[in-house]
Structure 1
């Protein structure tokens, strides 16, 4: 959902591009003397606004053992603002393994008076080599669908590593230190004397390291959903979920849902994105806890979390379909080989793993790293003297304020801002956060607080009773033909209204009016919900829709009464369509 919005923003037209800085490939422009970085220009692999150029930064795969080179994708959007500032914003997505380039247009609107540079992570989707790991993705999907002979994650990871090594990949070159060095090298290669660093989630670590390695060239640092190196993330992950649910007032209800699903696992139809086929997933309480930890990243899910969790606790499994579909989307949107290489070297070694986790992704990552046996990276303990703004979502289940705020206070010149109603990656949904971040980049010395305009990007939180839980709207979004009974009922009702009014047949006209009113109110209710929070349709519709069904029943009753008075083929057809609609409505839709 967010992706569609971002892509549309990326296509927004901008004026022609101004001259670009002169590229440089001098040793001084790179983090280590004697190691040079070069630029290769190329076509942009994603939709970007006019005035954007793309290319590759060519760097050693391992700076401690130069030889083989790799390519790191990047894009540069040149600002055409009359008061264009000389120091750009450089952005990297999180993950590890997430892509950055598709946000170029979105960020160019966030910082219109500056060039925007988006840089991929080495090994990412738009870099070379691309460290995908479909073997592991399939094993994780099979963990949910449980086929007769699932491949253990450790074996899948071994197959993935063997394939990557046959391609010449040295996984030891894919660490936070090397990714940060790529950021520093790109600045020099593009010819910018200074710039502003912007990281989100995992890439906040990258940007702190880059700021420490290139102190004279960093004007300011934006850290969204800060993930400090001092935090043992795997050891904290279940506590983070529990804390978030407690802040939302939903922990007891969610624990009840977990107990229910442990006793009787849910069966959910989903699509295997790698095989392109429908499969049946079996979800127990631990599986659903894993899904919820990911789902609560999204601000839209947070807004409907009361209805979602209450439905699960009360025995409704319908909301599990969109959560399960999101697993496949997430696995295919990240480069899992890169993700695991970074986690195994930078994250896993700092965790104790005192007990098995109910979150299956934690156990999978541990099994992969045990199989790969990559050397642990030395913690950098990096810091920066540059001005820093750390923004956090109050309900973030991955980088919660409990850990991000103390880490922000530990940076010498950092300010911290927390946004209510928001989860992970604050800047994607909060207009207030984007305004605050842009103001900080404009004047890093300013201690400005608050926003000039009311928040418009964060949907209001709904109470459990505000939604009528049903899986029908989500199913219709996947297969629109499922809404055919509603469309047919509305057309027949409209025909009844017109015919009854023209011929002076009051029963027929009132039957049509009631039918048109019920269909119209339903459409209006759904549209109103979508305009506030598109994600809500994955859980249900406003509770008032139940009354619209009874209004439709009145329309059918009037049609039957009209049929008794005047037995015509048209009235019989209308009664048949109405009866079929009521069966569809009460037996399937609700």
Structure 2
């Protein structure tokens, strides 16, 4: 349900794998034609340069006739999220420029890869009882990485920024445009400070300033987002109810590949929502979801619990911990203790690893900077990003309504404005975004049910609906051909019901697919009376024609209504 790059992957050009004849490796992900992937060899620690590591990157060369000389270089956030999979999306966003996507050292497409399944599994284990020992898991991960020769002190923001500077020099670009999102905005600010002559402009999406103590702010950020979405009372009620009586939810451990029963408390719900609200589609449907949870609809916890597992395999936790333990954790007080198990888990890992505290950079730049933020961002809220942008010498800030984290992935208007800025950084474009709200879902718009989400996981569960629609169609055709009016009308109303339900669900999915994790359009419940009318007409037709085809149609119609009322609705 919750992915940050679904839109990006959907918009990429037709994928091709591109091995390079010069001995560079093939691209590890689908990329558009004209893309070359390679490694940048760098010291693991620049103060002890003997050991070398490899940083993955991809270069897409623009074929535009008016190709500009300065490319866009992009890095994903995390820390430890991959970047290359967005090469095609970004090449469409910036058609007249080369696009360079650079990985973070230690991430999925670099070497070595700093995975840490031990701590990922322990974090998921917070939903088990008794909860897993995160500190012990961190110790096992660190010991394994040490055996591989990894020096975790080399995996921090300072070294990652130095890799970006080194890459520009190796590729031979005189200057380029930096593009960071979330954590990598901090990296790109360090790059801009360290390599001022090589930076033409800087785009910071969901800016994470170095001055912000993210962990200490996490609880407030979540509360502020809940209030901004108009669901504070419902959120407090839902978390209080689940803290008093946690729910049991069946989900799957993606690391072990095994099903287990998760115990979800109110604080667990808060933790999951703090991550889930990164997605604009989730933010749009959150008031309806939380309102239903406050009333006891625990079936809606299923997609949220599944999302926890999905998130744990989205990036490399060894790198994530190494960066956080040096660049973020030491600058937070953790007073009082957080209700969010991810915050407490990160602190436990860093207490076990005891990595050195980084020295603040206090990076700034004279280059033009465009900072964009989302109205409902629970991680890098505009409360902190706007003042940080205003403190930069040559920056401007813009908040995008109804957007959340990583604005450019979901907002076409944000992409257009970012392109306008990169095209002419000195021009302050103030063109407004269209004032549409097609993704917003109000609580009254939905009939709450967990059935659509279950069907999305196991399509065979929709068999009764498909069988009812098929039999109704057959009944309509047969009744019309044989002059049996009651049977024909029974089939017609059944087909009309199936068509109206299908059209309503399709329209909702087009607006906001995530809404189907909460329920179906409220009109679907109204359409139920059409299905009931079909069953009545079919039963009446049976009284006139007691042969087996009509009996079968009547039995299937009655069985469908039982399924519809007792399971689907």
TM-score between the two structures when normalised by the length of structure 1: 0.94
Task: Give the structure 2 partner of residue 490 of structure 1.
Answer: 469
Task: For 1:470 and 1:80, locate their aligned partners in 2 and report how far apart those are by CA, in whole Å.
Answer: 49
Q: Structure 2 vs 1, CA of residues 181 and 94 (structure 1 numbering), >3 Å: closer, same or farther?
A: same
Following TM superposition, by how much is the alpha carbon of 1:535 offset from its aligned partner in structure 2, in angstroms?
A: 1.2
Following TM superposition, by how much is the alpha carbon of 1:6 offset from its aligned partner in structure 2, in angstroms?
A: 2.3
Task: Give the structure 1 partner of residue 434 of structure 2.
Answer: 454
Task: Give the structure 1 partner of residue 294 of structure 2.
Answer: 313
Pairs within 5 Å for 1:463-474: 463-474=442-453
33, 57, 61: which is aligned to 1:78? 61
Task: For 2:538 and 2:439, locate their aligned partners in 1 and report how far apart those are by CA, in whole Å.
Answer: 40
Task: For 2:390 and 2:475, locate their aligned partners in 1 and report how far apart those are by CA, in whole Å.
Answer: 68
Contact 1:7–1:47 (8 Å) recurs in 2: no
Task: Give the structure 2 partner of residue 548 of structure 1.
Answer: 527
Task: For 1:403 and 1:263, locate their aligned partners in 2 and report how far apart those are by CA, in whole Å.
Answer: 34
Task: Give the structure 2 partner of residue 586 of structure 1.
Answer: 565
Asked if 1:8 is matched to 2:10, the reply is yes
Contact 1:153–1:367 (8 Å) recurs in 2: yes
Task: Give the structure 2 partner of residue 375 of structure 1.
Answer: 356
Task: For 2:5 and 2:93, locate their aligned partners in 1 and report how far apart those are by CA, in whole Å.
Answer: 16
Task: Give the structure 2 partner of residue 28 of structure 1.
Answer: none
Task: For 2:55 and 2:164, locate their aligned partners in 1 and report how far apart those are by CA, in whole Å.
Answer: 10
Contact 2:42–2:52 (8 Å) recurs in 1: yes
Asked if 1:91 is matched to 2:74, the reply is yes
Q: Secondary structure at the match of 1:374?
A: coil
Q: Secondary structure at the match of 2:27?
A: coil
1:108-160 per-position Cα deviation (integer Å, ceiling 9, x unaligned): 0000000000000000000000000001111111111336xx54000001000
The 10-residue stretch of structure 1 (339-348 or 565-574) with the greater mean CA deviation from structure 2: 565-574
Task: For 2:158 and 2:263, locate their aligned partners in 1 and report how far apart those are by CA, in whole Å.
Answer: 40
25, 38, 55: which is aligned to 1:55? 38
248, 273, 290: which is aligned to 1:292? 273
Contact 1:348–1:366 (8 Å) recurs in 2: yes
Task: For 1:368 and 1:524, locate their aligned partners in 2 and report how far apart those are by CA, in whole Å.
Answer: 49
Asked if 1:249 is matched to 2:249, the reply is no
408, 415, 424: which is aligned to 1:434? 415
Following TM superposition, by how much is the alpha carbon of 1:2 offset from its aligned partner in structure 2, in angstroms?
A: 5.3
Following TM superposition, by how much is the alpha carbon of 1:346 offset from its aligned partner in structure 2, in angstroms?
A: 0.2
Asked if 1:184 is matched to 2:186, the reply is no
Following TM superposition, by how much is the alpha carbon of 1:5 offset from its aligned partner in structure 2, in angstroms?
A: 3.4
Task: For 1:372 and 1:514, locate their aligned partners in 2 and report how far apart those are by CA, in whole Å.
Answer: 66
Task: Give the structure 2 partner of residue 113 of structure 1.
Answer: 96
Contact 1:522–1:545 (8 Å) recurs in 2: yes
Task: Give the structure 1 partner of residue 246 of structure 2.
Answer: 265
Contact 2:182–2:380 (8 Å) recurs in 1: yes
1:481-502 per-position Cα deviation (integer Å, ceiling 9, x unaligned): 0000000000000011111111
Task: Give the structure 2 partner of residue 504 of structure 1.
Answer: 483
Pairs within 5 Å for 1:40-51: 41-51=24-34
1:74-109 per-position Cα deviation (integer Å, ceiling 9, x unaligned): 000000000000000000000001000000000000
Pairs within 5 Å for 1:281-360: 281-360=262-341
Task: For 1:389 and 1:568, locate their aligned partners in 2 and report how far apart those are by CA, in whole Å.
Answer: 73
186, 193, 199: which is aligned to 2:174? 193
The 10-residue stretch of structure 1 (302-311 or 177-186) with the greater mean CA deviation from structure 2: 302-311
1:446-493 per-position Cα deviation (integer Å, ceiling 9, x unaligned): 011125x7378x743121110111111111111100000000000000
Asked if 1:156 is matched to 2:137, the reply is yes
Task: For 2:242 and 2:434, locate their aligned partners in 1 and report how far apart those are by CA, in whole Å.
Answer: 41
Following TM superposition, by how much is the alpha carbon of 1:11 offset from its aligned partner in structure 2, in angstroms?
A: 3.2
- Report the count of equivalent residues: 566
Task: Give the structure 1 partner of residue 112 of structure 2.
Answer: 129
Task: Give the structure 2 partner of residue 576 of structure 1.
Answer: 555
Following TM superposition, by how much is the alpha carbon of 1:275 offset from its aligned partner in structure 2, in angstroms?
A: 1.3
Following TM superposition, by how much is the alpha carbon of 1:566 offset from its aligned partner in structure 2, in angstroms?
A: 1.5
Task: For 1:222 and 1:7, locate their aligned partners in 2 and report how far apart those are by CA, in whole Å.
Answer: 21
Following TM superposition, by how much is the alpha carbon of 1:419 offset from its aligned partner in structure 2, in angstroms?
A: 0.2
Asked if 1:535 is matched to 2:514, the reply is yes
Task: For 2:558 and 2:546, locate their aligned partners in 1 and report how far apart those are by CA, in whole Å.
Answer: 17
Task: Give the structure 2 partner of residue 418 of structure 1.
Answer: 399
TM-score between the two structures when normalised by the length of structure 2: 0.97
354, 379, 388: which is aligned to 1:407? 388
Q: Secondary structure at the match of 2:527?
A: helix
The 10-residue stretch of structure 1 (135-144 or 458-467) with the greater mean CA deviation from structure 2: 458-467
Contact 1:40–1:58 (8 Å) recurs in 2: no
Task: For 1:322 and 1:121, locate their aligned partners in 2 and report how far apart those are by CA, in whole Å.
Answer: 30
114, 117, 122: which is aligned to 1:139? 122
1:518-540 per-position Cα deviation (integer Å, ceiling 9, x unaligned): 11111000100111111111111
Q: Which structure 1 residue ranges, 4+ long, deviate > 3 Å from structure 2?
A: 1-5, 11-14, 453-456
